[in-house]
Structure 1
Amino acid sequence: MKISVFFAIALPIVATACSRSQPTPTPVPPTELAAPSPPPASAAPGPLSSPPPPSTPARGTCVVVAKLSPWRYGPSVTPLPGGDVLIAGGRQGDDSQFMTAVDRFDPKTRAIRPAAPLAEARSLHGAAVAGDGRVVVAGGRTTKAVEVYDPTANQWSKVGNLGRELVTPIVVALPSGNVLVAGGDLMWKGALEDKAFEWRTKAQKLVPIAPMPAGSSGALVVKLPDGRIGIGADPLNTMEEALGEPEILYDEKAGWLRGKVGDPVIEAIQKDASGGTLLRPTSHRGPALRLTDDGIQALDPKGGEWREVAKLERSQPGATAAMLDDDTALVAGGIDEEKSLVEICSIAP
């Protein structure tokens, strides 16, 4: 079985950013970002096509409900507070075809419609919803910029610069409503970033914080029951193996802590080098889930083995996924036009 290597959570960093004050968010007017005929900032994204009649997949199965247009793989997939799902960025073909395209998908009506595009094209980036309902997008190929999306205004704002192009950074919401942005893969430079930031939701500013104890990417990130963020070494990343990276904890009050996370999700993935995208990276709201090219697997907390709990209707290498609720997932994207689909999956018990 081939396994997807695109990650749902991530973030980035920068060596020079810590010595400079961060810029105040500068909203980019929708007219500068939108496609040829953009809607006003207050307008909701317009429908791309009439949705098909909603169908509910049987437990343990998935159903194709839409196609991404333009097609792309490696987008971020982020559920919004109002119920829509934001599908942002991605790429086509080789490294020269990165995308600014953004779509909003309504899981209830199955309507998919274009939204205001990203200010800068990116793929393999991270995204998380801040406490005010806005989406923080950071890292990815081809850009150093951090952007924030306002779902009410359908508008993107550039809010900072990480100083480096960082792939699969850690981008994760914190209990306070702030967003942690840290680490990332420097790609062909043979190193992982250790710089870290917080997006401060009330101040609307990207603020540098203390660096991580060791460089890391967003491959193995779990939210622990006490609100801390656990980060483990990725068994597929040979750079991390060479560095002997320890497990790391992030606590909003105490900062970075070295030491064993002790989470069964991290332990199971480190034993199973087949990898996969962590879809529900937590062990306290049901079993952990991960996405493969062909379906969704759940972790057996007793045996430490992964079992399939939802079979994709169509194989989607290069897809990304997110949980809509405890039993339903949305999978979007694919490596070519035929496989760049949107599927809704119902998780088997």
Structure 2
Amino acid sequence: MCTMKMTRLSLLLVGFASVSAGCQPEEPSQVPTAGLVAHEAALTDPVGSWTSNSSLLFMHSGPLATLLGSGEVLVTGASTAEVYNPYTDRWRPTGSPNTARTQYTATALPSGQVLIAGGEGGISSAELYDPKSGTWSTTSPMANTRRGHAAVQLHSGKVLVVGGETAVDIRGPLDPLSEVYDPETATWTPVESFVYPRIRASAVVLDSGQVMLTGGVYWFGSNAWKNASEVNIYDPATNKWRTAGSLAKARHGHFSIKLYSGNVMIVGGFDGDNSVEMYDPYNNRWFMGPSVPLEETTPIVAATMLYSGEVLVTNIRGQSALYDPLTNAWLPAASVSGSAGPEPSTTLLHTGQVLMVTSNRVERFTR
């Protein structure tokens, strides 16, 4: 934006000097006009590029990519695992998880290990991956089975898991609807239940250390399989949840991204169209952001914040756009060479690039 202003100012000064010298106005005006056209065209050119990387060793079902402390990436599937080295663009096999699972969560721990928990089929078990030995070991199971839940690492290093499809009886969902894993003691602690259990919600840790949970799908009772707009806040200091209003647009499978400003960007998911909502935690205020300039009916399935603070989003067809919080505007970005698929897994590499993994393909975005 500053470059644009400086360019226009320079052009005005040149024109003024030319008129003062007695030149015909038509001649100097043609040069800056051409310059402006070229400059404006450059602003609309797609930024960045996607390149295909070395193919996966395995066909993963619902792959999850987790960044390790070494800068390498652990990719896990239902019963497979492998490690990607972004510096050599090479994959290597590693130990397989003890339990085959889908719709689970994978969370990196301060120790460098990775915690995976839950999964489809009534799984409450959890296990740890050790990148030093390339092996898996079981840890204490959760108190409740869950799939399609959310998991985040708290400022304390503990892991909060919340929601998902959990065990039920005639009275309703069985507690706890959320619980906290302590890697130091390998134990789980129940959390006071929040209002409605739901799957495919999105959780993000705020600067305060509290956790905001948004959207999802109600899966039990009269509201079964209805998109949720509910917002809840978890406070680790009290180990309790509280309600915190509603989203303007109910959605599930979406993304909540904490920007450098501390504000949270809600974008994408299914039924979220191309709308963007912003939450200011310092003033407890919601406001709308600029809509994503991609096809409104095509779900956004990936969103990753770059080191620059920009946010790269990609829809199911592989079309991408880049949000710049400094200008509160979107830039067109290069498209993925193929379809991104319904649920790709993306992670920001230490190189500053974004790695996208699908069930059978790997691509890397460079800004």
TM-score bin, normalised by smaller chain: 0.5 to 0.7
Per the alignment, residue 314 of structure 1 pairs with 338
TM-aligned CA deviation for residue 292 of structure 1: 2.7
Q: Which runs of 5+ in 2 are unaligned?
A: 1-45, 248-262, 275-297
Task: Give the aligned residue type for 1:322.
Answer: T
TM-aligned CA deviation for residue 216 of structure 1: 3.0
- Pairing of 1:143-222 with structure 2 (within 5 A): 143-162=123-142, 165-185=145-165, 195-222=177-204
SS across alignment from 1:161:
coil
Q: For the residues of structure 2 that align with 1:133 and 1:88, how far apart are their CA atoms?
A: 16
Q: Which runs of 5+ in 1 are unaligned?
A: 1-57, 90-98, 335-339
Match of 2:358 among 333, 338, 341: 333
* C-alpha contact 1:195 1:212 (8 A) present in aligned 2: yes
Percent identical among aligned pairs is: 21
CA deviation digits over 1:151-203, x for unaligned, max 9? 1121212223346553321111111111111111359x9x9886111111222
Distance 1:228 1:106, change over 3 A: same
Q: For the residues of structure 2 that align with 1:297 and 1:174, how far apart are their CA atoms?
A: 30
Larger radius of gyration: 2
* C-alpha contact 2:75 2:81 (8 A) present in aligned 1: yes
Distance 1:147 1:197, change over 3 A: same
Q: For the residues of structure 2 that align with 1:200 and 1:121, how far apart are their CA atoms?
A: 23
Per the alignment, residue 63 of structure 2 pairs with 75
Q: Are residues 1:131 and 2:110 paired?
A: yes
SS across alignment from 2:146:
coil
Match of 2:80 among 97, 101, 115: 101
Task: Give the aligned residue type for 1:129.
Answer: A
Distance 1:275 1:230, change over 3 A: farther
Match of 1:227 among 189, 209, 216: 209
Q: For the residues of structure 2 that align with 1:261 and 1:129, how far apart are their CA atoms?
A: 30
* C-alpha contact 1:228 1:249 (8 A) present in aligned 2: yes
CA deviation digits over 1:24-71, x for unaligned, max 9? xxxxxxxxxxxxxxxxxxxxxxxxxxxxxxxxxx95211111222321
CA deviation digits over 1:298-344, x for unaligned, max 9? 4465998866534213323142111224842111123xxxxx11211
* C-alpha contact 1:77 1:85 (8 A) present in aligned 2: yes
Q: Which range moves more in the overlay, 231-240 or 155-164?
A: 231-240
Task: Give the aligned residue type for 2:70.
Answer: G
Q: Are residues 1:323 and 2:348 paired?
A: yes
Per the alignment, residue 110 of structure 1 pairs with 89
Could you say which structure has the higher helix fraction?
Answer: 2
* C-alpha contact 1:88 1:103 (8 A) present in aligned 2: yes
Q: Which range moves more in the overlay, 124-133 or 80-89?
A: 124-133
Aligned residues: 274
Match of 2:309 among 286, 300, 303: 286
CA deviation digits over 1:259-305, x for unaligned, max 9? 148955227768536543453379x9724444433144444659988
Q: For the residues of structure 2 that align with 1:240 and 1:254, how far apart are their CA atoms?
A: 30
Normalised TM-score (structure 1): 0.66
* C-alpha contact 2:199 2:219 (8 A) present in aligned 1: no
Higher relative contact order (CA 8 A, sep 6+): 1
Per the alignment, residue 251 of structure 1 pairs with 235
* C-alpha contact 2:71 2:350 (8 A) present in aligned 1: no
Task: Give the aligned residue type for 1:102.
Answer: A
SS across alignment from 2:96:
coil
SS across alignment from 2:165:
coil
Normalised TM-score (structure 2): 0.63
Q: For the residues of structure 2 that align with 1:166 and 1:160, how far apart are their CA atoms?
A: 15
* C-alpha contact 1:127 1:172 (8 A) present in aligned 2: no
SS across alignment from 2:266:
helix
TM-aligned CA deviation for residue 253 of structure 1: 1.1
- Superposition CA RMSD, Å: 3.7
SS across alignment from 1:113:
strand
Q: For the residues of structure 2 that align with 1:346 and 1:248, how far apart are their CA atoms?
A: 35
CA deviation digits over 1:117-159, x for unaligned, max 9? 0111112221111121111111222333111111112121222
